Structure 1
Amino acid sequence: MQDITAIVIFLVIGAVAGWLAGQIIKGGGFGLVGNIIVGIIGAIIGGVLFNFLGIATFGLLGSIISATVGAVILLALIGLFKRA
């Protein structure tokens, strides 16, 4: 049961982070599935970046912040490649 709860929390964090990044970068979300995908990839990017910089995050809010920062970076990079 704990595995299911962890997966649900992971997906919710991904959805929230993807939606927030969409609001920050593009001005809109990408739908539930798109937000989750952007948020999950953003969580990976944010986690690596925060670890590299020595920044520690704790709890649900820290996870959302880290994932959102990573998702914003992901969307900014995608935007740069789309323009080129």
Structure 2
Amino acid sequence: MEEYLPLIIQLVSGAVGGNVAGKLLKNLSLGSLGNSIAGILGGGIGGQLLGMLGIGAGAAAGTDSMDISSILGSVAGGGVGGGVLMAIIGAIKNAMAK
């Protein structure tokens, strides 16, 4: 179960990041459910990308210990990835609506 903990943290952080970005960027918001779904996807992708780049490497490399830097890396990668993907999808949705 401990090997899935970084991914779970990234997904939850992504959902939070997507909703925070939706509140800050009201013109790009997809609604609560849309922001959460886009955030979850972005959180997983963002966290994995940061892990591949070596940021939060403890979480991505599959080490057995979860230290504070791994947890913070997962939270940051998930939150930022969730917010960014939500904003991208919101911008595409707005562009298609015009």
**TM-score interval (norm. to shorter):** 0.5 to 0.7
Structure 2 unmatched ranges of 5 or more: 57-72
TM-score (norm 2): 0.52
Determine the structure 2 residue equivalent to 1:15: 15
Using CA pairs under 8 Å that are at least 6 residues apart, name the structure with larger relative contact order, 1 or 2. Answer: 2
TM-score (norm 1): 0.57
Structure 1 unmatched ranges of 5 or more: none
Over the aligned positions, Cα root-mean-square deviation in angstroms equals 3.3
Structure 1 residues 8 and 42: alpha-carbon distance in aligned structure 2, compared to 1, 3 A threshold: closer
CA contact under 8 A between 1:17 and 1:67: conserved in structure 2?
Answer: yes
CA contact under 8 A between 1:41 and 1:71: conserved in structure 2?
Answer: no
Taking only the aligned residue pairs, the percentage that are identical comes to: 33
Give deviations 1:13-63, integer Å, cap 9, x for gaps: 1221210221232266733x433211023343x57xx78xxx775402233
Determine the structure 1 residue equivalent to 2:92: 77
Q: Number of matched residues?
A: 76
Determine the structure 2 residue equivalent to 1:67: 82
Q: Quick check: which has more Rg, 1 or 2?
A: 2
Rounded to whole Å, the distance in 2 between the matches of 1:29 and 1:78 is 9
CA contact under 8 A between 2:38 and 2:82: conserved in structure 1?
Answer: no
Determine the structure 2 residue equivalent to 1:30: 31
